[in-house]
Amino acid sequence: MIVTEFYNTRKDGVNLYKTYSDKNVYIHKIGTEEEYSEAIDIEGSGFEYEETNKEIVDEPLNLELYD
């Protein structure tokens, strides 16, 4: 399911909203070829998203050190 929630308010007063999938898949911005793991948009942007079947792979934040 696509989830959209309030993210924060910029210094200029513009509200930002975050959209993501609760199934941990990339989301596709409808009408474009753009895909996001999370999408933060300004209030009233009008962008709509749908889930893809591409799972978001956890990023290796802590790589092992190599010999």
Partner 1 sequence: MAKNDNIQDLLIDVADAIRAKKGSTSLINPQDFADEIKNIESGTWDELKRVQKKDVNFYDYDGSILYSYTTEQAIAMSELPPFVSHENLTQTAWNHTLTEVREMARQCGHASVGAIFTTTDGFTYIYCVLTDTLDVSIGLDTWGKGEVSVDWGDGNVEQNSITSGVAFTHTYAKNGRYTIKINSISGTAIFNGVTPNDVVKGVHIGNMSQASANNLPNALFFTSTVLNNNGSVNYGGWINIPTSVSSIRFKGFGKGITYSPSCTNIVCISANGLKEFVNNGACSSFNNNFCLEYIYGETPMVAWGISWSPTLRYVQNPIGTEIPDGCFSYSKSLTEFKSPDVTRVGAQAFSYSGIKVLDMSACTSVPTLSNANAFLNTSLTEIRVPMALVDEWKAATNWSTYADYIVGY
Binding mask 5-44 for partner 1 (x = CB under 8 A): --x--xxx-x-x------------x----xxxxxxxxx--
Does 47 engage in binding with partner 1 (CB under 8 A)? yes
Distance from C-alpha of 41 to C-alpha of 8, rounded to nearest angstrom:
10
Does 65 engage in binding with partner 1 (CB under 8 A)? yes
What letter does residue 23 receive in the DSSP assignment? T
Joined together, the tokens standing for residue 57 give 């792979």
- Residue 5: closest CA among 40, 34, 32, 30: 40
Footprint of partner 1 (CB under 8 A): 7, 10-12, 14, 16, 29, 34-42, 45, 47, 59-61, 63, 65-67
